[in-house]
Chains A and B, each alone.
Chain A
């Protein structure tokens, strides 16, 4: 019903848009997206803000269902009926569109200079020479904790690994709270909130990730095995029956106040703010020794590109430059706490938890998830295998060394780094 209504509304707006064009010679830009959840934000906040500054350009946000997006977009692009602006999935899916010539080259787009190379890496050719989407938002990994629980037990926010495990020990000894809310049933929690969360501190973020792609480091090297060893140590701090605990289970355990620490992605902020009845705080993955450089996973998640077949290239580019501007970043980041702008200029955010997360960008070095770029193109798929092996390590069915070896063997079987 709602989809029907939505379609009707969208149809309505697009028809109105066209009539408007006929009358005032306005140009209408259509945005393809899978983020149906953001419809109101676009309609009420983002688009009016753009249109006010750019008379003569009308923008219509036309999302489709997330599961259908890639297929629907592919069909529309082939038929030539796709919108002018295309929301980009990170990495290979968008790269494929660029290679097919569906996405225009945006390397020289005004505004692209506002983004760091890490931010742009998700929408670049492998050599990093051409960019084809404007980065919109990223998600940051870290740990969210129950402030009330920490106050009650007199705990300090840990900054080093030893402190981290000392805190976990204290919570466990007290017994009121489950020390850490995480399960291994859905596999990806162990990999994404576990391995990719704490890993960058070991492999030194971008340095390690780039070396892995170049073939200079192997997953069996100590800096890639150590995070698995730390994960294995998490096991006693997880709740009873964590092997069958799903991702929503973990979320509920934490928001109901039954668990003290939640290995998190910043996308949880919106949900947790509405569900948790206690004060929350966040801390970045602890480092080895106090004073060490910290690294965080600041993973690029969503971007926007230009349909190469669009009839309104100039107007669309104007819009994309605006998307690359701090104005857009401020509105977007505040409307969706937890989805952080990738813009280099700092964005003012109201939400304290989101502020905490984004403040780490200032003191830590950013990287993206190690398995996403290039390394997950073959079979076996490194990302999926990392899910399985991270869960195995926590469950104790594989040793950290065995898990790392399996991953490297799988990667070696198809990936030959360019020498």
Chain B
């Protein structure tokens, strides 16, 4: 504290004397800025630019917003686009309704001082998160396989065989089933973040609550939950960005055509088919870029809503 104060005074003194060019700021920022610009910002603008062109007679021609008009106006594209967006929203809803509450619940259980083997549970639940999508996709495809899968046998074991259907092959269930697989994979992330937030609540606050007679469930709802709300906000926005960028799980489990009958098609797979093409379909980078641009705008809008409407209203507590 003292050193910091001294440093501030020193700096203030220097500023008054003369304002030297602070090279170190630029030097320290440079690596990150350069790498980020080269690999994120330039490609982003490249994509935006690509979406305004079209390949006519082997050369790129500027066509303004014509690709977007095709995307929203031509039923061959718009039907697929709205279907993908709808599916993506459902994908997101399942994550918000299932993944995050379960994550919070698990974190609350883990932070309970009476629970033993906390470290084991924490690791076990977090492990799927570090697995590759490909492994998760194939493993679940096998588990749920009506022919070799363990799911039908296990359900048979407890007398629930009649409830088994080939979920991944049915239009009405496939997307929900895959969303739940994704929830299974990523439930560790909200759990860890909330767990960290719960641990950072000072004991004094809890003790004060206990003195006032707030214990058990009431303590969670009235004391802990308000204190971890900012973390829940962060998790929500991470889930949002992650879900609207999702692609891998659907691609490994259902293929690029996101069957059956496009029922698991989300924006990521739709973009993939448009951009790179599939089988006999020749890729159309320009339309692909247009879809990518729309995805970018959707995510940008979501993040803005969070930043300007939600985060500014969250109350923060300083201890």
B169 near A372 with CB under 8 A, answer no
Q: Which residues from chain A sit less than 8 Å from chain B, CB to CB? A: 91-92, 183-188, 239-246, 249, 252-253, 371-372, 376-377, 379-384, 387-388, 391-392, 395, 397-398, 410, 413-414
Q: Distance (Å) between the CB of A102 and the closest chain B CB? A: 13
Tell which of A244, A376, A381 touches B168, judged by Cβ atoms closer than 8 Å.
A244
**Nearest A residue (CB) for B80:** A380
The residue among B168, B260, B262 with the most chain A CB atoms within 10 A of its own CB is B260
Tell which of B74, B166, B261, B281 touches A383, judged by Cβ atoms closer than 8 Å.
B281
Tell which of B77, B141, B152, B167 touches A379, judged by Cβ atoms closer than 8 Å.
B77
Across the interface, which residues of A come within 8 angstroms of B255, CB to CB?
A: 186-187
Known A92-B282, A377-B282: A397·B166 in contact at CB below 8 Å: no
B146 near A245 with CB under 8 A, answer yes
If over half of B's interface residues share one DSSP class (helix, strand or loop), that class is named, otherwise mixed; here it is loop
**Nearest B residue (CB) for A398:** B261
CA gap between A88 and B77 in the complex, in Å: 31
**Nearest A residue (CB) for B147:** A249
Across the A-B interface, the 8 shortest Cβ-Cβ residue pairs: A241-B146, A243-B169, A244-B166, A244-B169, A241-B166, A381-B281, A376-B280, A383-B280
**Nearest B residue (CB) for A413:** B76
B281 near A241 with CB under 8 A, answer no
CA gap between A242 and B280 in the complex, in Å: 25
Q: Other CB < 8 Å A-B pairs besides A239-B147, A380-B76, A388-B262, 15 of them?
A: A185-B166, A240-B147, A241-B146, A243-B260, A244-B166, A245-B146, A245-B166, A246-B145, A249-B148, A252-B147, A371-B280, A379-B76, A392-B261, A395-B260, A395-B261
**Nearest B residue (CB) for A414:** B76
Cβ < 8 Å to A, chain B residues 117-160: 141, 144-148, 152
The yes or no answer to B294 lying at the interface (CB within 8 A) is no
If over half of A's interface residues share one DSSP class (helix, strand or loop), that class is named, otherwise mixed; here it is loop
Cβ < 8 Å to A, chain B residues 58-83: 74-77
**Nearest A residue (CB) for B144:** A244
Q: Which residues from chain B sit less than 8 Å from chain A, CB to CB? A: 74-77, 141, 144-148, 152, 165-171, 254-255, 257, 259-262, 273, 278-282, 284, 287
Tell which of A184, A188, A384, A387 touches B169, judged by Cβ atoms closer than 8 Å.
A184
Q: Distance (Å) between the CB of B196 and the closest chain A CB? A: 39
CA gap between A413 and B167 in the complex, in Å: 34
Tell which of A187, A384, A392, A395 touches B280, judged by Cβ atoms closer than 8 Å.
A384
Q: Distance (Å) between the CB of A125 and the closest chain B CB? A: 17
A-B contact pairs, 18 of them (CB 8 A): A185-B254, A185-B260, A188-B279, A240-B146, A240-B147, A242-B169, A243-B168, A243-B169, A243-B260, A244-B170, A245-B146, A376-B280, A379-B77, A381-B279, A384-B257, A384-B279, A395-B260, A395-B261
Across the interface, which residues of A come within 8 angstroms of B166, CB to CB?
A: 185, 241-245
Q: Distance (Å) between the CB of A139 and the closest chain B CB? A: 15
Across the interface, which residues of B come within 8 angstroms of A253, CB to CB?
A: 147
**Nearest A residue (CB) for B165:** A241
Q: Distance (Å) between the CB of A183 and the closest chain B CB? A: 8
CA gap between A371 and B279 in the complex, in Å: 12
Q: Distance (Å) between the CB of A211 and the closest chain B CB? A: 20
Across the interface, which residues of B come within 8 angstroms of A371, CB to CB?
A: 280
**Nearest A residue (CB) for B75:** A413
Across the interface, which residues of A come within 8 angstroms of B170, CB to CB?
A: 243-244
B260 near A381 with CB under 8 A, answer no
B165 near A384 with CB under 8 A, answer no
Q: Distance (Å) between the CB of B83 and the closest chain A CB? A: 12
Across the interface, which residues of A come within 8 angstroms of B165, CB to CB?
A: 241
Across the interface, which residues of A come within 8 angstroms of B257, CB to CB?
A: 187, 384, 387-388
**Nearest B residue (CB) for A395:** B260
Across the interface, which residues of A come within 8 angstroms of B262, CB to CB?
A: 388
Q: Distance (Å) between the CB of A181 and the closest chain B CB? A: 10
CA gap between A184 and B76 in the complex, in Å: 24
Across the interface, which residues of A come within 8 angstroms of B147, CB to CB?
A: 239-241, 245, 249, 252-253
